[in-house]
Amino acid sequence: MSRTERFYDLMFEVSNEYRHQIMLMLKEQAMRVTALSNELDLTTPEVSRHISRLCEIELAVKDVEGFFHLTPFGTMVLTMLQEFEFTSKHSAYFSTHLNAGLPAEFTKRIGDLSESGFSDNILDFIRQIEHVIKDSKEYVWLLCDQFPLNHLSLIIEAIERGVQFRIIEPRDRILSPDIEAIASEENLELSLTKLNRIIEQRMLDEINVFMYLSEKSCVSAFPTLRGENEYKGFISKDETSLRWFREVFLHYWEEAEPRTPTPSPVQVKRGQISEITGSTNSIVVVGRDRSEYDAQAIQDALDNYEEVILKGRFNLGTSTIYINRSVVLRGEGRKDDIPDTKIYKKGWTFPFIIEDFLLVVRGDGIDVLIENIHIEDFNGTCIRNQQGHSVTIRKNRLTLRSGLGRGLSFGNWGDHVVGIQSGGESMFQGSFPGGVLIEDNFLDFAISYERGGFISNKGLENDPSYRPDLQKHENSICIGIYASRNLGKVIIRNNVVRNMTSRGILVNDNWGSSDITIENNSIISEVFGVYPYNNPMSGVGILLQSAWSEPRSRGRVEVNGNKIVCDKVNYCGIAVYGPAMYQKGAGKLEECIIKNNEIELGNGSIGALVRRSDHTEIIDNKISGKAYYGLQIQGSPDRQEIDLGAKYNIFEDNDM
């Protein structure tokens, strides 16, 4: 008999249900024909026939006392059959999920998972992941398609009780692109533990199995045919399965590259650093225009140097860069008053409900300067100054092809896109007591398409009664510069904001100690507005408000020497609002001065508006073009003991 014939004979014999069951029973103990007959509920001749066939191909043998045993060959074959039994049991799953990327040594032993349970319920699968982290005492190893931010609070609790973490992520998925969806205190905890020895991070080009493993249990899944993790797979708690997962993880761990930043300029190689200038406190990072390198290179440099100079073009993919220490970040080179250094994000899906950023400044008592960088594409908020002592944003350029297809979605309130935002991260915490300076920046939210022209909707936008359908993403809420929850002095000057659809410069909810100056800015919109927040005006060049969503009052604002040009319907040049919310502590600005501004409206609503605010001075402004009102003042009945009147306002020497 040839080897091929012997193989097919073997497959034929073990494929029989009863013969396979006999082998399983003999694996546990030697048995006579009578006992096998009773267990299988078969006649003695039937059992004798089956056991004889097993003996003929040397899978079983009979001893002198009439007991049948598995031979060593039979034991080996039965062990190998476990792989077929496991995959056959879950054939529907493996027919739509990939395991070809697993090394052959582990594929051959996949039967080790035979004691694992299976879950095709996504919510149950996620709950099982939570249990892995909750119940861990020694370690948690994660081999995943992205950092599990939805379990961040559990991860932090585990770290606090001393659990060691190892994390392997795909090279093109940088940690925490959606971090701002997390509570602020957890956000801080993650920031503080990025370089902690208790967390080790590595990268792989490709993830071939997803696992969430502790010393007690493992939750695992294989990629779909599209390479995705759909959170359906196996729940394992037996030692044989856990040993298989530990060995698989360690195999990939050895293949993966470390992601932990290091202060050595030689080892920060993912950014292809070209030189170190001045001292070890300054570094030049050259962009590769590749997301798998650029984001990590910038982050590593910011984490370890006092001055980071960027050169070339950087593709951040879907990543966010976090600045949590005092640093200077600047681009190298400038031509025709445009920065040579380019940064952009790419790869997100739309619409989305998680706030996203390109740069985030957040650290206790830090002083940060960001200058001379051209950010060509982003989604959500481009630069978010969230916490620190002081921050300066100077001579940067922020441009979008259009405001559509991006932004945090608020349903009927539209998709929000913000250029630069500065202020505290919560209603209970103001920020930047040392001041905020935003100057000489250029922002354009709708640079024309290659074919020419701006966003349009068949000319409907020229009809004063037309309203974009924000629920269907027909247009987005574009805000140029946004100052909120600031404690100290804020200066916004010499900036150009083009093609905002909602607010050119927005100021609200600042603390009573704030002192805000807005001067010599140019705000120009050639695109139609969006009528945000059910407002009858399509947009406002500069809007100032004491309390919009938080109970604030007092503070000083001066708006001086700005030029506002809006040539589409229903825009307002400058608006000063009192409180829009009615809780104890909500009040009006302490002092507001609007002077020497030029406002030109193509077919506007109001030149300058004071609504439910006191002690506003509107002096020496020039308002031209077409509008329903040049200057307007409004009061409202008080609500819940909140003063909504408009008193002691001064309109003087304005040219309309």
For the chain, the structural domain boundaries read 3-89, 93-258
Residue closest to 407 by CA, chosen among 525, 491, 502, 485: 502
Q: What is the pLDDT of residues 289-346, one digit of tens each?
A: 988 889 989 998 999 899 999 999 999 998 999 999 999 999 999 999 999 999 999 8
Q: What is the pLDDT of residues 355-414, one digit of tens each?
A: 889 999 999 999 999 999 999 999 899 999 999 999 999 999 999 987 777 888 887 788
Cα separation, 184 vs 168, in Å, equals: 25
Q: Among all chains, which residue has been given the structure tokens 């909810």?
A: 509
Cα separation, 350 vs 428, in Å, equals: 31
DSSP H or E segment with residue 226: none
According to CATH, what is the number of the domain 3-89? 1.10.10.10
The 8-class DSSP code of residue 448 comes to: P
Phi, psi of 353 (to 5 degrees): -115, 15
Instruction: Give pLDDT, residue 285.
Output: 92
Instruction: Give pLDDT, residue 191.
Output: 45
C-beta separation of 593 from 558 below 8 A: yes
Cα separation, 396 vs 443, in Å, equals: 8
Q: Strands, E, within 510-580: which ranges?
A: 515-519, 522-525, 539-545, 556-560, 563-569, 571-577
**Whether the predicted pLDDT of 656 surpasses 80:** yes
Q: What is the pLDDT of residues 167-207, one digit of tens each?
A: 988 876 544 333 333 334 444 444 444 434 467 888 888 88
Cα separation, 504 vs 475, in Å, equals: 16
Q: How many CB atoms lie within 10 A of CB 122?
A: 11
Q: What is the pTM of this model?
A: 0.61
Residue closest to 219 by CA, chosen among 110, 133, 94: 133
Domain 93-258 has CATH 3.30.870.10: yes
Q: What is the pLDDT of residues 497-556, one digit of tens each?
A: 999 999 999 999 999 999 999 999 999 998 889 998 888 899 999 999 999 888 899 999
Q: Tokens for 525? A: 């919109």
Torsion of CA 259, 270, 396, 390, to 10 degrees: 40
CA distances (Å), 506 to each of 8, 150, 322, 509, 561, in order? 78, 32, 24, 10, 17
Q: What is the pLDDT of residues 555-605, one digit of tens each?
A: 999 999 999 999 999 999 999 999 988 888 899 999 999 999 999 999 999
Instruction: Give pLDDT, residue 274.
Output: 35
- Distance spanning both ends of the chain, measured CA to CA: 107
**Whether the predicted pLDDT of 275 surpasses 70:** no
**Whether the predicted pLDDT of 417 surpasses 50:** yes
Q: For residue 374, which amino acid is it?
A: H
DSSP helix/strand/coil, 46: helix
Q: Among all chains, which residue has been given the structure tokens 């298989």?
A: 244
Cα separation, 563 vs 495, in Å, equals: 10
The residues with which 249 forms a beta bridge, in sequence order, are none
Q: Residue range 249-254: average pLDDT?
A: 92
